[in-house]
């Protein structure tokens, strides 16, 4: 495996972990979605590294395009929900969402 | 050389997203990270994925984030972190060590087989081999559209909470 691919894997995994850290360490809903976005950037890099290592860039490209569409729809729906939560509760702190418990 | 600079910039922008306290700056850093990621995709000849990344992730998603931040700008952002700021360097060192270990393991165990990809072009893969994906993507976009419509739908005769 070439140095370039190793570096792609390294950066992709680091981005994935940073996203995971943001996801579990913050209570603000917008920051949580930012964490999901960072996580997805890491996955894109890992996919690219795997495609380059296997010599299957066209195949990986189609996966990345699909992944970007999934990511966009997820972000749009989640951000819409965040606006709704803000209008209902007046805050973006997930602690306040404990009211949703049955 | 351009690859290393792009990857270094990409990681810097990601760190900026984590470290900035202002959400608007974080959203702009996310857009810049998307731009550098699209440069990386271009360098590996994944041109169509790069265009998607540049237009959709750096453009559309940033607009969505900035709109949401401006719609919720009166929200409190002070007591948001669960981890004290003093622990952040330790967390970063831990993540780096874990990352290094995983990369070494991946390099040794996962990908020793070498090239095994087919010679198909993107057009063949996207429109023929993975044609079912297109239906999935179309339905996903529709789910997104109807989801947003359902979220912002106001029942007749009922006022909004605001």
What distance in Å separates residue B122's CA from the closest CA in chain A?
A: 4
Any idea how long chain B is?
162
Distance of CA A97 to the CA centre of its chain: 22
Interchain CB distance below 8 Å, A41 and B151: no
Phi, psi of B116 (to 5 degrees): -145, 10
Residues in chain B with CB shorter than 8 Å from the CB of A84 are 151-152
- pTM of the predicted protein model: 0.85
pLDDT in tens, B49-90: 999 999 998 889 999 999 999 888 776 655 566 677 677 778
Q: Which of A9, A65, A72 sits opposite B49 (nearest CB)?
A: A65
Instruction: Check whether B28 has a pLDDT greater than 80.
Output: yes
pLDDT less than 50: residues of chain A: none
State the pLDDT at residue B13. 94
State the pLDDT at residue A87. 85
Interchain CB distance below 8 Å, B95 and A31: no
- Confirm if A16 and A53 have CB atoms less than 8 A apart: no
For the beta carbon of residue B46, count every other beta carbon within 10 angstroms: 27
């Amino acid at each position: 495996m070439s140095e370039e691919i190793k570096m792609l894997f390294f950066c992709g995994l680091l981005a994935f972990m940073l996203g995971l850290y943001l996801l579990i360490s913050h209570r603000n809903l917008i920051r949580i979605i930012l964490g999901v976005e960072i996580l997805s950037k890491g996955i894109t890099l890992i996919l690219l590294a795997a495609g380059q290592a296997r010599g299957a860039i066209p195949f990986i490209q189609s996966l990345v395009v699909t992944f970007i569409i999934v990511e966009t729809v997820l972000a749009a729906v989640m951000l819409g929900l965040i606006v709704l939560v803000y209008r209902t509760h007046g805050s973006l702190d997930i602690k306040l969402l404990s009211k949703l418990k049955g | 050389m351009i690859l290393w600079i792009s990857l270094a910039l990409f990681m810097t922008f990601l760190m900026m997203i984590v470290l900035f306290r202002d959400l608007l700056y974080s959203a702009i850093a996310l857009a810049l990270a998307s731009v550098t990621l699209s440069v990386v995709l271009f360098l590996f000849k994944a041109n169509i994925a790069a265009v998607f990344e540049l237009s959709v992730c750096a453009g559309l998603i940033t607009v969505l984030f900035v709109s949401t931040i401006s719609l919720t700008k009166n929200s409190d952002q002070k007591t948001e972190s669960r981890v004290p700021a003093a622990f952040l360097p330790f967390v970063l060192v831990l993540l780096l060590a874990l990352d290094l270990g995983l990369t070494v393991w991946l390099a040794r165990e996962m990908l020793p087989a070498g090239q095994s990809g087919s010679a198909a072009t993107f057009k063949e893969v996207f429109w023929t081999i993975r044609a079912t994906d297109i239906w999935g993507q179309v339905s996903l976009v529709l789910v997104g559209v109807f989801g947003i419509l359902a979220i912002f739908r106001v029942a007749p005769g009922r006022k909004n909470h605001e």
